[in-house]
């Protein structure tokens, strides 16, 4: 790069490089992370609320921090182009929201199997009718089963840190699958918060093709026979065998990402007041509301624990099982109607009866802390003041 950057490894960048406090939006935080990640190429198609992020990434490209950037024809084209670019061995970033994510999903779910290392920003938005641009994270449920690593950011600071860490995790030889960094549209992307950032002269070391488990392709002279005589087409037996081994390997890769989530993000969960009987468990923006409820409870002299889930894939089953071992109740607030996080937690613990389904808001509504407090009072067997509708 021509900007005279100090290229460092991710441990130094995240944990040692001196940081300064800034007051910026979540969209800015994600773009600032991209700026420090020595990204080779960004491709995207605009959609609210992601457009703010990719606009800022465009600015970064104009400033010379990214080598190549273009607007694809739509999301299926975007996500397919990301897969194609990955074959050339370059570092990639893209982002999308709600309907855009679903339009690109056909290509996205093939990324892990194609061993596409890239970072995908998901700035959540309503996908179901009646249409709306408001934050609702139901789209994350559609992503859960494709094999990608998924991180869920609570606020602007998380958005910055997780996005940077994602660039390191996705390229690890024993991972080498895409990493999605999700956060709520508007509540995080368009709202300002404090973010501690290192100077932009520091950047993550550039991608090294020799470290990659998959050789980069010479796209000038493509090896055509790879496709024509692919082993999966030899026979049914070989096809099924290779496909099953392949998929197992993808999910093993996903599980192997966990050690890097520990290395860079201090683990997949954060626990406050581990000895409590009643817990609130949440991810993303709902974790901010849960953190507030946790403090309200503390001020009222109630003992309530908080579990923030940072990694959705690989899902921290063992960690959550351990944290909830002695819990009597776990309240799971969510920004979607189906409660995908509650389902994940229920299938991870053997005392799933302790799970309180909700409170949930959807369609992008605000998740009032008072709703969480009402569940806390109920869980503690206290009288609750009826909130007037």
- What is the contact surface with other proteins in residues (CB under 8 A)? 155, 187-188, 191, 285, 288-289, 291-292, 295, 299, 366-370, 385, 387-389
Buried/exposed code over 335-354 (b: 16+ C-beta within 10 A; e: otherwise): bbeebbbbbbbbebbeeeeb
Decide: 36 and 6 in contact? Cβ < 8 Å: no
Tokens of 21: 């406090």
Nearer to other proteins, 184 or 319 (CB): 184
Q: How far is the CB of 50 from other proteins (least distance, A)?
A: 18
Q: How far is the CB of 28 from other proteins (least distance, A)?
A: 16
Q: How far is the CB of 181 from other proteins (least distance, A)?
A: 18
Residues 6 or more apart whose CB falls under 8 angstroms from that of 119 comprise 37, 92, 93, 94, 163, 166, 167, 170, 178, 179, 180, 181
CA distance 48 to 51: 5
Nearer to other proteins, 139 or 158 (CB): 158
Sheet with 355-360, side-by-side order of all strands:
269-272, 304-309, 278-282, 329-334, 355-360
Tell how far CA 60 is from the center of its chain: 22
Main-chain dihedrals φ then ψ at residue 94, nearest 5 degrees: -145, 165
Nearer to other proteins, 57 or 372 (CB): 372
Decide: 144 and 115 in contact? Cβ < 8 Å: no
Q: How far is the CB of 374 from other proteins (least distance, A)?
A: 10
Q: How far is the CB of 135 from other proteins (least distance, A)?
A: 9
Q: How far is the CB of 286 from other proteins (least distance, A)?
A: 10
Nearer to other proteins, 224 or 389 (CB): 389
Cis amide prior to 174 (ω within 30 degrees)? no
Cis amide prior to 359 (ω within 30 degrees)? yes
Nearer to other proteins, 59 or 270 (CB): 270
Decide: 189 and 183 in contact? Cβ < 8 Å: yes
Nearer to other proteins, 17 or 191 (CB): 191
Nearer to other proteins, 42 or 281 (CB): 281
Q: How far is the CB of 366 from other proteins (least distance, A)?
A: 3
Decide: 313 and 276 in contact? Cβ < 8 Å: no
Q: How far is the CB of 370 from other proteins (least distance, A)?
A: 5
Nearer to other proteins, 2 or 386 (CB): 386
Main-chain dihedrals φ then ψ at residue 8, nearest 5 degrees: -135, 170
Decide: 182 and 150 in contact? Cβ < 8 Å: yes
Nearer to other proteins, 163 or 294 (CB): 294
Residue owning tokens 């465009």: 58
Residue whose C-alpha is closest to residue 48's, from 360, 285, 364: 364
Q: How far is the CB of 306 from other proteins (least distance, A)?
A: 11
Q: How far is the CB of 187 from other proteins (least distance, A)?
A: 5
Nearer to other proteins, 40 or 161 (CB): 161
CA distance 48 to 133: 7
* Cα Rg, the chain, nearest whole Å: 21
């Amino acid at each position: 790069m021509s900007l005279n950057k100090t290229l460092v490894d991710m441990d130094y960048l995240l944990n040692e490089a001196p940081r300064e406090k800034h007051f910026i939006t979540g969209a800015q935080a994600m773009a600032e992370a991209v700026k420090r990640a020595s990204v080779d190429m960004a491709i995207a198609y605009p959609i609210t609320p992601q457009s703010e992020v990719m606009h800022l990434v465009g600015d970064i490209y104009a400033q010379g921090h990214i080598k190549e950037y273009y607007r694809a024809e739509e999301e299926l084209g975007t996500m397919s182009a990301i897969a194609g670019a990955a074959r050339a061995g370059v570092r990639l970033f893209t982002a999308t929201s709600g309907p855009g994510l679903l339009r690109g999903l056909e290509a996205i779910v093939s990324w892990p199997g194609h061993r596409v290392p890239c970072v995908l920003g998901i700035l959540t938005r309503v996908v179901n009718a009646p249409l709306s641009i408001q934050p609702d994270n139901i789209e994350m449920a559609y992503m859960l089963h494709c094999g990608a690593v998924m991180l869920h950011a609570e606020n602007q600071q998380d958005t910055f840190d997780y996005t940077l860490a994602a660039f390191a995790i996705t390229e690890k030889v024993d991972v080498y699958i895409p990493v999605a960094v999700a956060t709520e549209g508007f509540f995080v992307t368009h709202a300002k918060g404090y973010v501690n950032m290192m100077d932009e002269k520091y950047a993550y070391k550039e991608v090294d093709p020799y470290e990659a488990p998959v050789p980069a392709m010479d796209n000038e002279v493509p090896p055509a026979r790879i496709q024509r005589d692919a082993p999966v087409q030899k026979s049914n037996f070989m096809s099924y065998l290779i496909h099953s081994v392949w998929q197992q390997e993808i999910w093993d890769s996903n599980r192997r990402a966990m050690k890097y989530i520990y290395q860079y993000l201090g683990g997949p969960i954060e626990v406050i007041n581990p000895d409590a009987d009643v817990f609130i468990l949440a991810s993303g923006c709902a974790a901010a509301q849960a953190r507030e409820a946790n403090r309200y409870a503390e001020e009222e002299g109630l003992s309530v624990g908080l579990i923030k889930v940072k990694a959705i894939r690989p899902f921290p089953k063992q960690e959550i099982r351990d944290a909830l071992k002695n819990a009597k109740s776990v309240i799971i607030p969510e920004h979607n109607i189906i409660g995908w996080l509650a389902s994940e937690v229920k299938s991870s613990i053997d005392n799933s009866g302790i799970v309180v389904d909700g409170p949930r808001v959807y369609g992008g509504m605000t998740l009032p802390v008072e709703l969480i407090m009402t569940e806390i009072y109920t869980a503690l067997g206290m009288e609750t003041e009826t909130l007037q509708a």
